[in-house]
Structure 1
Amino acid sequence: MESKELLEIAAKACDDKRAEDIVALDMREVSLIADYFLICNGSNERQVDAISKAIKDAVEEKGIEVKKIEGKEQARWVLVDLDDVVVHIFHKDERSYYNIEKLWGDADNVPLSFN
């Protein structure tokens, strides 16, 4: 599966759980970490956890292995590693504090077509 298609699957799962401010960054020219970062936030810990679970379920349904999920215990910043796509799910209070969109400001935004 192409990494762009994986990005769209994860973005749709975020949207299905009403994640807010979903942003995708093309990391291919600025980092070796992943092809794409997907960033979103939830309004509380329960929603952040539900978003991460929805992503896991959606990609596993397509036969894709989740490499690692970090931060589920506190559900303030959950990282879902899908290898070529890394999803950052923030609690709304944490997102502005860490501001990773600014940190990776050289990366281009990717339009998403999950709607």
Structure 2
Amino acid sequence: MKKTIKNLKNKYLIFKCRLMVALLAGILGGLRAAAAGNGLSGINEATSMVTSYFDPGTKLIYAIGAVVGLIGGIKVYSKWSSGDPDTSKTAASWFGACIFLIVAATILRSFFL
């Protein structure tokens, strides 16, 4: 009699463990399915957020290019006024930096949008 009660308790514990594992697997599967749907909406939201930053970003790069151009113009003018022989080299480097900033902003905008 004691052996049958012990066997019944063991079978009940085994059944209980299997039931818990099955419920846990079902819950985790449901969470995974729910997370997959949210992942897609998250990617779409991130894409729209990144593309919304391009307009202010390109304007910021244009502003930086304008400031670099002004500073370069002042530097070239001061070298030209003092009679420095490599004024044309300085002018070309600053002009190239400004052109690079403007072209880089335009290319990045057209590449990503």
- State TM-score, norm by structure 1: 0.26
Higher strand share: 1
Higher helix share: 2
